[in-house]
């Protein structure tokens, strides 16, 4: 199964496995593989999702949309909402009795840096200005009902355009479009940083944008930060047990 945003990309999408295998430009390789592909003078980012286990091969074949399909459809929805993301081109799924591999294709976005670099470097140029603008972007996401479940520093790209910082979200297959209450707003930000000073700054800026009392925001935000820490600790323990 495949789908593309324009007939101009039919060949690229239908033959993506061939183009992907031929490319040696690896951008990222862990569970999934992200490659850069040059096609008709334009660069595209192609993500190959790992073949799921047997149970999930059945689930993704008959009951649930694939990660590639969700990446594509969520990106199209983001564009309609006016939220920056890598331009979606299409997706491809290897068909058969069971689900196998899938690919998501987007136009390559040449960003300046990830927001992670800003959180890591306390002397990052224009750091406070960037964080203020980032919170405006985040607040806008929330108001438009965009819940990015993996809203973490590596999935937020930044590019300076005409002296202004523009933010783009990627890795969007795990996403919901829902109404936000205060709790979900704070929960969605709990993966950004564990630094106390930076978290205080984020809550200060969010309070300005939302007109919500900063004390209420901090209490809820700190609760979800602790929940996230517990989750990561349990994950580390489980990984340690599996390696024994």
pLDDT tops 80 at residue 242: no
Q: End of a domain among 107, 126, 153?
A: 107
In the chain, % of residues over pLDDT 70: 100
3-state secondary structure of 128: helix
Residue 243 scores a pLDDT above 80? no
Distances (CA, A) of 34 to 27, 28, 50, 103: 5, 5, 11, 10
- Give the DSSP letter of residue 171: -
Last residue of a domain, one of 54, 84, 107: 107
3-class DSSP state of 92: strand
- The residue with greater pLDDT, 142 or 236, is 142
| Whether 216 and 166 share a structural domain | yes
Could you tell me the CA-to-CA distances from 114 to 149, 152, 184 in Å, in that order? Answer: 17, 10, 23
- In this structure, the answer to whether residues 211 and 232 fall within a common structural domain is yes
| 99 and 145 co-located in one domain | no
Are residue 180 and residue 235 in the same domain, yes or no? yes
Q: Please tell me whether residues 82 and 118 are part of one structural domain.
A: no
Question: Do 150 and 75 share a structural domain?
Answer: no
Number of domains in the chain: 2
What's the mean per-residue pLDDT of the chain? 95
Same domain, yes or no: 159 and 231:
yes
Q: Can you give the CATH number for the domain in which 49 is found?
A: 3.30.200
Place 244 in a pLDDT band, splitting at 50, 70 and 90: low
Q: Which two tokens stand for residue 32?
A: 């999934």
- 117 and 233 assigned to the same domain: yes
In this structure, what CATH number is given to the domain that contains residue 231? 1.10.510.10
Same domain, 152 and 85: no
Domain extent at residue 36 = 2-107
- Condensed to tens digits (0 to 9), the pLDDT of residues 87-122 reads 999 999 987 889 999 999 999 999 999 999 999 999
Last residue of a domain, one of 54, 89, 107: 107
Q: Which residues contact 69 (CB under 8 A, 6 or more apart)?
A: 3, 91, 93, 102
Q: Tens digit of pLDDT for each residue in 145-204? A: 999 999 999 999 999 999 999 999 999 999 999 999 999 999 999 999 999 999 999 999
Same-domain check for residues 211 and 95: no
Residue 241 confidence (pLDDT) above 80? no
Same domain, 79 and 140: no
pLDDT at 201: 96
């Amino acid at each position: 199964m495949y789908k593309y945003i324009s007939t101009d990309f039919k060949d690229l999408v239908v033959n993506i496995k061939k183009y992907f295998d031929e490319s040696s430009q690896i951008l990222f390789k862990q569970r999934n593989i992200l490659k850069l592909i040059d096609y008709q003078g334009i660069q595209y980012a192609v993500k190959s999702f790992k073949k799921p286990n047997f149970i999930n091969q059945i689930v993704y074949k008959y009951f649930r949309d694939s990660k590639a399909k969700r990446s594509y459809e969520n990106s199209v929805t983001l564009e309609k909402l006016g939220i920056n993301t890598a331009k979606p081109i299409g997706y491809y799924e290897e068909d058969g009795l069971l689900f196998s591999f899938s690919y998501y294709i987007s136009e390559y976005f040449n960003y300046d840096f990830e927001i992670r670099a800003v959180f890591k470097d306390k002397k990052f140029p224009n750091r406070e200005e960037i964080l203020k603008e980032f919170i405006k972007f985040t607040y806008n996401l929330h108001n438009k009902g965009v819940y990015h479940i993996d809203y973490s520093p590596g999935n937020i790209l930044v590019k300076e355009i005409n002296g202004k910082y523009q933010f783009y979200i990627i890795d969007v297959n795990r996403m919901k479009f829902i109404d936000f209450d205060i709790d979900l707003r704070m929960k969605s930000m709990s993966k950004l940083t564990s630094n106390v000073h930076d978290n205080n700054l984020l809550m200060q800026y969010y309070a300005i944008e939302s007109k919500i009392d900063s004390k209420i925001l901090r209490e809820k935000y700190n609760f979800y930060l602790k929940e996230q820490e517990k989750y990561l600790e349990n994950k580390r323990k489980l990984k340690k047990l599996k390696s024994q």
